[in-house]
Structure 1
């Protein structure tokens, strides 16, 4: 099983390869993707930023649950 970080890395690498690699001719690229190569590159940057934000929010949420759980446990010991 892959983590979200691994998935994001794979997706971004595939998009970079599509945008910068020899796989799609220039005359056909925008027809296939509905975007120019530059727009796909911009999209990758946005995707990576959103992936990083998602990871941060997930960490904060998990940390809040951990803290809340342990705070609740300490209240019962008193």
Structure 2
């Protein structure tokens, strides 16, 4: 079963919002975006437009992993603007990320953030 197939309709909507927030929100500076995500802003935007479909499932899997992970773990100092782009709480997004990855546990520490990078 693929990661997309494991997701509920609500999970898929949360992931779509996260992809859009990463692309359009204030969370990641342009100069650092490719380093943080492993993809350009334009590549993530293309994945968001096609969501949940993809001709490159491995690329999609890594992009979703990195977007959700960085929204949760990168010190973007934009928590006050979170609600402008995301309906889900960080705790809910963490649960979605764990399901996306097929993980039983979610390590909230800085080490966990780095261990989840793809």
Q: Which TM class, normalised by the smaller chain length?
A: 0.5 to 0.7
Aligned-partner Cα distance in 1 for 2:18–2:29: 16
Query: Where in structure 2 are the equivalents of 1:1-78 lying within 5 Å?
Result: 4-49=8-53
TM-score w.r.t. length of structure 1: 0.55
Q: Which runs of 5+ in 1 are unaligned?
A: 51-78
Give how far 1:40 is off.
0.1
Aligned partner of residue 25 in structure 1, secondary structure: coil
Q: Which has the higher helix share?
A: 1
Aligned-partner Cα distance in 1 for 2:40–2:9: 26
Moved over 4 A (4+): none
TM-score w.r.t. length of structure 2: 0.37
Q: Which residue of 1 aligns with 2:101?
A: none
Q: Which runs of 5+ in 2 are unaligned?
A: 1-6, 55-118
Question: More relative contact order in 1 or in 2 (CA 8 Å, sep 6+)?
Answer: 2
The aligned length equals 48
Aligned-partner Cα distance in 2 for 1:34–1:49: 20
Give me the CA root mean square deviation.
Answer: 1.6
